[in-house]
Amino acid sequence: MNLSVIRDKSFMEDLLQVGIITGTHGLKGEVKVFPTTDDKERFKDLTQVFIQAKDGSLVEQKVDKCRFFKQFVFVRFEGLDDINDVEQFKRCPMLVTREHAVPLEEDEYFIADLVGLTIVDDSGVTIGKLINVIETGANDVYEVKTEDGGTVLLPAIKDCILDVDMEEGIILVHILKGLIGG
């Protein structure tokens, strides 16, 4: 078993999560992954991933094969042929570099790029900072930490999210009636 461990924080910031290893599967080194990406089929094209170990370090692994069952993806890594080799990865995030990420469509963004952007309403008032994107199934919901320490939930729909300016670090929104202050 040959593991390559990376501790470079700037490199870690440029990675995107594609799944969480929920456990092992069988005795031959396969792991069960819950995908955190919109398209689990993207796992078919994975050749290399990084696993964020419990100590915060990254372990680079080459993907040998993957298969699908229900909502899970079962992944086997090159050189890890025994349950004891992968046991340490339970409950660890599985990440990819941006160059191995799925290309985005127009008006699509990686959640990691949106978090931290300033939310400004269409009258020019700063609402706060985006701290989380909640995936609900129907539409995403932006969790915003307001300037006074409160929280506002904004639906990620065209009527509410007017523009995302990555260069300026601003998301322009229209506050729908009832979302803030009743």
For residue 68, what are the contacts with CB-CB under 8 A and spacing of at least 6?
A: 40, 43, 74
pTM of the prediction? Answer: 0.64
Percent share of the chain, pLDDT over 70 = 90
HSE-CB at 104 with a 13 A cutoff on CA atoms is 10
Which top CATH class is 4-100?
Answer: mainly beta
The topology (CATH level 3) of 111-173 is SH3 type barrels. (2.30.30)
| Res 44: pLDDT | 86
Query: Which pLDDT does position 181 carry in this prediction?
Result: 60
Cβ count within 10 A of residue 152: 17
pLDDT (0 to 100) of residue 182:
47
- Give me the long-range contacts of 141-149 (CB less than 8 A, separation at least 24): 142/114, 142/171, 144/119
Q: Please tell me the distance from the alpha carbon of residue 173 to that of residue 159, in angstroms, as a whole number.
A: 8
Give the domain ranges of the chain: 4-100, 111-173
Judge contact between 50 and 6, C-beta under 8 A.
yes
pLDDT per residue of the chain (182 residues) written in tens, 0 to 9: 434 444 444 445 578 888 999 988 888 889 999 988 877 888 888 889 999 988 888 889 999 999 999 889 999 999 888 888 888 899 999 998 887 777 777 777 888 888 899 999 999 999 999 998 887 778 888 999 998 999 999 999 889 999 999 899 999 999 877 666 64
Measured from the Cβ of residue 98, the count of other Cβ atoms closer than 10 Å reads 11
Q: What is the pLDDT of residue 5?
A: 43
- pLDDT of amino acid 8: 44
